[in-house]
């Protein structure tokens, strides 16, 4: 079959680095083609180049669509050629309805004329057509719903629908499931299979190999800016893909070793906690009780919206109102206090959304690292000491950057996550909350974070690990707590935890 | 945090030089660069810049203070009325003015962070309320700040000049301090094997700074000496510089302006810091108010008009982001100098007030436009 899209000998240079080196890639009609590689391997650069963000002339090599050379000067050019990108960061306007978003920038007018001057928007038609296009995908979304009311998964679907309405023939999905819970992932994958039936070709970028193997027809692995290999999914396996990605064999993906130093001392104890959402006044968490010993990793799982992040953020003093319950941290009662106080008492949080809650993106690595540990606001900064501690963390976490002065916004996801972790560790916590610490980061950096968790528990610290990836949860936790709609759905020891059991606890009533 | 000279800084220096060159040539008899005018310019600059340095403190965490101009009038008025009508001792009257400002701005800061009302609205309200209070306090009349033509501490604020010898001594002392701190900083850089300035470059920088300092003293000594407002500005600017660069408080200002949610999660006491910034702004408004009123010789209804906008303009020209998280004291001083030179030069050329307004507005727009362009090209 002739490829619908192909790239030959693509080389893209940035000042000082070669981001892509002689990359070739082809996409067949009606194919789902996964693009795998560690962060910094060049996936994003390739996507930006295919979609016209890096215009023709800013790179060497040739792009062809339907065997004809194309020269995209802008995203609009790529769009006209039938190519759409669904980004990791959602591009919907929150204050608008679903239908308004689907038609954004392409509103039909009553007079039938194009252009925004001299004609009024045909609202009934927008809602009618939005309904039709949504129904085509068998999803339950109200076209009149405000986008703010939708979950992340539904938003993702709206974006895909928006792209397909424009008759896109090539869909590029950049980490589409990063923010989705398991069942939402399944819905998305079903839709992609449906699209494949209709002859729409997909480029699918994901760090989650389970998904890639579940859906992709072929897999292309990028490493250090070069296309290493293209494999047929049917004739390969995860180990081979990972080997190509990292250039070495990884035998143990989850190197959790029980510290053996688990003491009987409680680090954190939560008893009958009830929390309401401070904005809506609705009860959000019901009767949560659990305990965490020193040197232990407690995994918390559950579907999106089950209350995992809310639970962490509440204990950290950043979310909700406590209506009942008692929390004990290191033997002292912990009332609901602002984060500054909670950090002071020995608890640290690494948020799931590092760009929003974790980093001051325009500032340097050093600025961000020391932010939680500068001491009293009335004092002066001992810049000498600050520099020494920052350097120590910078080196021990192996943050890949020229030096401490580099802007954090320019780092890759894995390195940004290391900065957030470093900042949390510098506040010298006894208990550390990690909310999706490996989301959107590459295999190498994931391993380093798992190793770090092991080191922390060796030092007698306690870790709460929230994750949507069940293998990670099972692999890295000593005990696992599943949440379901704000309640505890089940607690499992490491030995008895299987993906099926955890999923059951997340979906149905507790036994 | 090292600062590199960017194209933007360079453009700023060029703009300043161009403005000065223009007025030097245009104003008859070299009036613009006469010792007398430079001394007056220095006082104008000191007053504008003091307020602008305060404005930096509220712009950094992403807020704004539109009430500063009205506040300048109000505080100057309160102190004037206490002196002229109630016969208070001058220091007490001035202290009372500062205390009032401190309370008012602390209250505004509280409203902003606790009731979550945007600073734009709170200070817009403050601007009107303070203006009204000001006119009530002075009863729409002109209130002198001295009794019987004597000079007092209040009027001395803008009429005292440091004697020439003292000026030179001060400059020498400052140069020595700069040298010592520069040497220590360089030693630290070497200790950490950081790419600091080499000794030639740091000598050049020091030498330039010292030259400018002495040039400044020589020029002001041609008239009467260093004006007191310049020294007040110097100390306030130095304090704010220390605050922004070397204290956790200052770090937090940048962090809040850069990403408030991340700042909260990082354990920064966002409320305290924001209220603190507004309270300091209050004190600086009070000091500016006293200087501005003293400069006019009396409290009149128009004192402080539009000063908040000049302060914001100086900040923006100096590279402060209105979204927060970016800006430095040095940049603000530069911005204020450009504004002061423009206004002073136009006054010397007897430009009509209406045209002055237009020019001020255009300069502000131009500065923001340049800033946007340079940021885009940097990406």
- Cβ contacts of B89 within 8 Å, gap of 6 or more: none
Q: Does A379 lie at the interface with B, CB-CB under 8 angstroms?
A: yes
Smallest Cβ–Cβ distance between B267 and the set A340, A367, A381 belongs to A340
Q: Which pLDDT value is given to residue B196?
A: 61
Assigned fold of A5-246: Rossmann fold (3.40.50)
Is beta strand A462-466 parallel, antiparallel or unpaired with respect to A226-232?
unpaired
- Report whether pLDDT(B6) > 70: no
Lowest mean pLDDT among A192-201, A252-261, B85-94, B204-213: A252-261
Q: Is B329 helix (H, G, I), strand (E, B) or coil?
A: helix
Q: Does A110 lie at the interface with B, CB-CB under 8 angstroms?
A: no
B2 within a domain of the structure (yes/no): no
- Report whether pLDDT(A143) > 60: yes
- Return the CATH number of the domain spanning residue range A263-346+432-439+462-511: 3.40.50.300
- Report whether pLDDT(B194) > 70: no
How far, in Å, CA of B27 to CA of A386, rounded?
Answer: 52
The predicted-structure confidence for A411-462, as pLDDT tens digits, reads as follows: 888 899 999 999 999 999 999 999 999 887 877 888 899 999 999 999 889 9
Lowest mean pLDDT among A442-446, B141-145, B348-352: A442-446
Q: Does B241 lie at the interface with A, CB-CB under 8 angstroms?
A: no
The predicted-structure confidence for A219-238, as pLDDT tens digits, reads as follows: 999 887 888 889 999 998 88
B189 within a domain of the structure (yes/no): no
Considering chain A, what is the average pLDDT of its residues? 85
Looking at the complex, report in whole angstroms how far the Cα of residue B241 sits from the nearest Cα belonging to chain A.
12
- Report whether pLDDT(A88) > 70: no
Confidence of residue A511 (pLDDT cuts 50, 70, 90): very low
Q: Does B334 lie at the interface with A, CB-CB under 8 angstroms?
A: no
Considering chain B, what is the average pLDDT of its residues? 89
Q: Between residues 170 and 199 of chain B, which touch chain A (CB distance below 8 Å)?
A: 188, 192
- Report whether pLDDT(B2) > 50: no
Q: Which pLDDT value is given to residue B298?
A: 92
Q: Decide if A32 contacts A215 (C-beta within 8 A).
A: yes
Q: Which residue range(s) make up the domain with B328? A: 7-163+225-378
- Name the residue with tokens 């009987």: A264
Q: Decide if A20 contacts A7 (C-beta within 8 A).
A: no
Confidence of residue A248 (pLDDT cuts 50, 70, 90): low
- Report whether pLDDT(B296) > 60: yes
Q: Which pLDDT value is given to residue A261?
A: 59
Looking at the complex, report in whole angstroms how far the Cα of residue B256 sits from the nearest Cα belonging to chain A.
9
Looking at the complex, report in whole angstroms how far the Cα of residue A129 sits from the nearest Cα belonging to chain B.
38
A225-228 contacts at long range (C-beta below 8 A, 24 or more positions apart): A225/A18, A225/A19, A225/A20, A225/A21, A225/A23, A225/A41, A225/A42, A225/A45, A226/A20, A226/A21, A226/A22, A226/A23, A226/A42, A227/A23, A227/A24, A227/A25
Q: Decide if A300 contacts A466 (C-beta within 8 A).
A: yes
Comparing A376 with A452, the larger pLDDT belongs to A452
**Average pLDDT of B351-355?**
91
Chain B residues within an 8 Å CB radius of A375: 248
Q: Does A405 lie at the interface with B, CB-CB under 8 angstroms?
A: yes
**Average pLDDT of B33-50?**
92
- Domain count within chain B: 1
Q: Does B2 lie at the interface with A, CB-CB under 8 angstroms?
A: yes
Domain boundaries in chain A? Answer: 5-246, 263-346+432-439+462-511
**Average pLDDT of A54-79?**
88
Confirm whether the ipTM is greater than 0.90: no
Task: Tell me the β-bridge partners of A63.
Answer: A7, A70
The pLDDT > 70 percentage for chain A reads: 93
Q: What phi, psi does A484 have (nearest 5°)?
A: -140, 115
Within 10 angstroms of residue B201's Cβ, the number of other Cβ atoms is 10
Chain A residues within an 8 Å CB radius of B264: 318, 338-339
Confidence of residue B69 (pLDDT cuts 50, 70, 90): very high
The predicted-structure confidence for B313-323, as pLDDT tens digits, reads as follows: 999 989 898 88
Q: What is the CATH number of the domain that holds B42?
A: 1.10.3470
Coarse DSSP helix, strand, coil percentages of chain A, rounded to the nearest 5 percent: 35, 25, 40
- Report whether pLDDT(A166) > 80: no
**A224, burial (CB in 10 Å: exposed 0-12, middle 13-18, buried 19+):** middle
Q: Rounded to two decimals, what is the model's pTM? A: 0.79
Q: Which pLDDT value is given to residue B248?
A: 93
How far, in Å, CA of B150 to CA of A13, rounded?
Answer: 73
- Report whether pLDDT(B231) > 70: yes
Q: Does B276 lie at the interface with A, CB-CB under 8 angstroms?
A: yes
The predicted-structure confidence for B90-125, as pLDDT tens digits, reads as follows: 999 999 999 999 999 999 999 999 999 999 999 999
Same fold flag, A5-246 and A263-346+432-439+462-511 = yes
Residue B366 vs residues A30, A121, B49, B254: alpha-carbon distances, Å: 52, 37, 20, 25
Q: What phi, psi does A11 have (nearest 5°)?
A: -130, 125
Comparing A280 with B279, the larger pLDDT belongs to B279
In B, minimum Cα distance to A353 occurs at B262
Residue (of A356, A355, A357, A388) closest to A370 by Cα position? A388
Comparing A201 with A377, the larger pLDDT belongs to A201
- Report whether pLDDT(B13) > 80: yes
- Report whether pLDDT(B1) > 50: no
Smallest Cβ–Cβ distance between A360 and the set B192, B262, B276 belongs to B262
Residue (of A159, A165, A157) closest to A126 by Cα position? A165
A332: left (phi over 0), alpha (psi -120 to 50) or beta: beta
Chain A residues within an 8 Å CB radius of B261: 356-357
Q: Does A132 lie at the interface with B, CB-CB under 8 angstroms?
A: no
- Report whether pLDDT(B230) > 90: yes
Q: For chain A, how many residues are written?
A: 511
Q: Which pLDDT value is given to residue A164?
A: 78
Looking at the complex, report in whole angstroms how far the Cα of residue A491 sits from the nearest Cα belonging to chain B.
28
Number of H helices, E strands in chain A: 16, 20
Q: Does A199 lie at the interface with B, CB-CB under 8 angstroms?
A: no
Q: Does A433 lie at the interface with B, CB-CB under 8 angstroms?
A: no
The predicted-structure confidence for A294-318, as pLDDT tens digits, reads as follows: 999 999 998 767 889 999 999 999 9
Smallest Cβ–Cβ distance between B267 and the set A351, A364, A372 belongs to A372
């Amino acid at each position: 079959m002739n490829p619908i899209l192909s790239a030959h000998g693509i080389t893209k240079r940035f000042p000082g680095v070669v981001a892509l080196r002689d990359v070739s890639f082809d996409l067949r009609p009606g194919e789902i083609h996964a693009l795998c590689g560690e962060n910094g391997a060049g996936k994003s650069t390739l996507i930006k180049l295919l979609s016209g963000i890096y215009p023709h002339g800013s790179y060497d090599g040739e792009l062809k669509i339907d065997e004809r050379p194309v020269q995209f000067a802008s995203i609009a050019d790529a769009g006209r050629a039938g190519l759409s990108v669904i980004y990791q960061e959602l591009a919907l306007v929150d204050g608008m309805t679903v239908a308004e978003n689907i038609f954004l920038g392409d509103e039909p007018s009553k007079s039938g004329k194009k252009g925004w001057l001299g004609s009024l928007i045909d609202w009934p038609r927008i809602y009618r057509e939005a309904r039709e296009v949504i129904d085509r995908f068998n999803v339950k979304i109200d076209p009149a719903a405000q986008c703010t009311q939708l979950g992340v998964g539904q938003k993702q679907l709206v974006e895909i629908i928006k792209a397909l309405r424009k008759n896109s023939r090539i869909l590029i999905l950049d980490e589409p499931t990063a923010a989705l819970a398991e069942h939402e992932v399944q819905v998305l994958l079903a839709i992609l299979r449906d699209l494949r039936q209709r002859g729409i070709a997909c480029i699918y970028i994901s760090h989650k190999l389970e998904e890639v193997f579940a859906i992709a027809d072929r897999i292309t692995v990028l490493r250090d800016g070069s296309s290493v290999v293209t494999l047929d999914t049917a004739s390969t396996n995860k180990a081979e893909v990972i080997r190509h990605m990292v250039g070495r064999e990884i035998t143990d993906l989850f190197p959790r070793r029980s510290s053996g130093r688990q003491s009987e001392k409680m680090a954190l104890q939560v008893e009958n906690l009830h929390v309401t959402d401070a904005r809506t006044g609705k009860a959000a968490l019901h009767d949560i009780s659990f305990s965490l010993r020193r040197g232990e990793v407690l995994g918390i799982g559950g579907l999106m919206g089950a209350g995992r992040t809310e639970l962490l953020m509440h204990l950290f003093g950043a979310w909700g109102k406590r209506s009942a319950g008692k929390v004990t941290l290191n033997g002292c009662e912990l009332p609901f206090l602002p984060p500054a106080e909670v950090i002071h008492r020995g608890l640290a949080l690494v948020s799931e959304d590092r760009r929003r809650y974790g980093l001051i993106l325009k500032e340097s690595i050093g600025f961000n690292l020391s932010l939680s540990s500068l001491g009293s606001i009335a004092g002066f900064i001992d810049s000498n000491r600050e520099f020494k501690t920052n350097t120590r963390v910078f080196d021990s976490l192996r943050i890949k950057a020229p030096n401490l002065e580099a802007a954090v916004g320019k780092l890759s996801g894995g390195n940004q996550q290391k900065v957030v972790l470093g900042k949390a560790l510098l506040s010298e916590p006894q208990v550390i909350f990690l909310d999706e610490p490996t989301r959107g980061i590459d295999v190498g950096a994931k391993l380093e974070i798992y190793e770090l968790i092991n080191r922390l528990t060796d030092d007698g610290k306690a870790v709460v690990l929230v994750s949507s990836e069940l293998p990670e949860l099972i692999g890295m936790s000593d005990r696992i707590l599943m949440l379901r709609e704000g309640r505890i759905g089940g607690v499992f020891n490491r030995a008895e935890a299987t993906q099926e059991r955890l999923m059951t606890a997340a979906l149905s009533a507790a036994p | 945090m090292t600062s590199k000279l960017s194209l933007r800084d360079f453009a700023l220096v060029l703009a300043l030089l161009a403005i000065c060159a223009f007025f030097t040539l245009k104003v008859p008899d070299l009036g613009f660069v006469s010792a007398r005018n430079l001394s007056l310019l220095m006082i104008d600059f000191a007053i504008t810049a003091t307020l602008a340095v305060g404005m930096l403190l509220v712009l950094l965490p992403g807020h704004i203070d539109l009430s500063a101009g009205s506040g300048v009038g109000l505080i100057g008025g309160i102190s004037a009325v206490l002196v002229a009508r109630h016969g208070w001792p001058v220091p007490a009257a001035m202290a009372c003015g500062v205390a009032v400002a401190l309370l008012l701005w602390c209250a505004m800061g509280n409203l902003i962070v606790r009731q979550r009302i945007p600073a734009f609205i709170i200070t817009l309200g403050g601007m009107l309320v303070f203006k009204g209070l000001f006119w009530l306090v002075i009863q729409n009349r002109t209130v002198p700040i001295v009794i019987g033509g004597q000079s007092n501490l209040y009027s001395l604020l803008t009429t005292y000049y440091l004697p020439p010898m003292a000026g030179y001594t001060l400059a020498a002392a400052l140069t020595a301090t700069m040298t010592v701190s520069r040497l220590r900083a360089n030693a630290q850089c070497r200790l950490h094997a950081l790419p600091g300035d080499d000794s030639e470059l740091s000598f050049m920088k020091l030498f330039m700074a010292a030259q400018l300092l002495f040039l400044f003293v020589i020029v002001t000594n041609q008239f009467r000496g260093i004006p007191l407002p310049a020294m007040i500005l110097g100390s306030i600017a130095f304090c704010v510089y220390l605050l922004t660069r070397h204290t956790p408080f200052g770090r937090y200002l940048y962090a809040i302006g850069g990403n408030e949610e991340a700042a909260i999660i990082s354990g920064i006491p966002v409320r305290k810091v924001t209220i603190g910034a507004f309270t300091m702004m209050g004190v600086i408004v009070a000091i500016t108010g006293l200087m501005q009123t003293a400069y006019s010789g009396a409290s009149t209804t128009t004192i402080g008009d539009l000063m908040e906008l000049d302060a914001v303009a100086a900040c923006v020209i100096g590279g402060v982001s209105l979204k927060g998280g970016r800006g430095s004291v040095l940049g603000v001083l530069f911005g204020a100098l450009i504004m002061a030179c423009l206004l002073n030069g136009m006054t010397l050329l007897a430009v009509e007030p209406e045209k002055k307004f237009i020019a001020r507005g255009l300069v502000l727009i131009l500065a923001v436009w340049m800033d946007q362009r340079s940021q885009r090209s940097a990406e």
